[in-house]
Amino acid sequence: MLLPNILLTGQLYDGYDEEYDCPILDEDRVVDELENQMSEGGVIVDYHGCDFFPERWFHIVFVLRADNSVLYKRLETRGYNEKKLKDNIQCEIFQVLYEEALASYKEEIVHQLPSNKPEDLEDNINQILKWIEQWIKDHSS
């Protein structure tokens, strides 16, 4: 599930951030909205942060990482303003999202995956699928 889609279609935002040119997420409403789906299991959440999601929701967390030069070009192509671009690069340099994931979940479930080139996408999908297959084997009765 892509959280930005739920955010916009479910109107789960609390205003607009002019400086970053994006909606402001209402984290409590998002958690309330997703609670039933997440309790059923088998859900993948795609979002750029994690510290507000309950730990009980996840068996594994993947943090995609990109080299700064690759990330800069990627964000520039998306038309990010200078401040948003600079802040995103700094977050990557200082591993902000990885550190947030480590602080929010057990260290053994947090994994970093490279996201620099198209081949990384396929490799990451294969690695995640292997993890899912192993998890199903380990948890089948």
Contact (Cβ atoms closer than 8 angstroms) between residue 77 and residue 28: no
What percent of the chain lies above the pLDDT cut of 90?
Answer: 69
Domain of 101, CATH number, reads 3.40.50.300
Contact (Cβ atoms closer than 8 angstroms) between residue 75 and residue 21: no
The pTM is what?
A: 0.87
Does residue 133 lie within any of the structural domains?
no
Residues 95 and 57 in one domain: yes
Residues 34 and 56 in one domain: no
Can you tell me the mean pLDDT for 41-68?
93
Contact (Cβ atoms closer than 8 angstroms) between residue 31 and residue 47: no
Does residue 141 lie within any of the structural domains?
no
Does residue 131 lie within any of the structural domains?
no
Average pLDDT, the chain: 91
Residues 88 and 43 in one domain: no
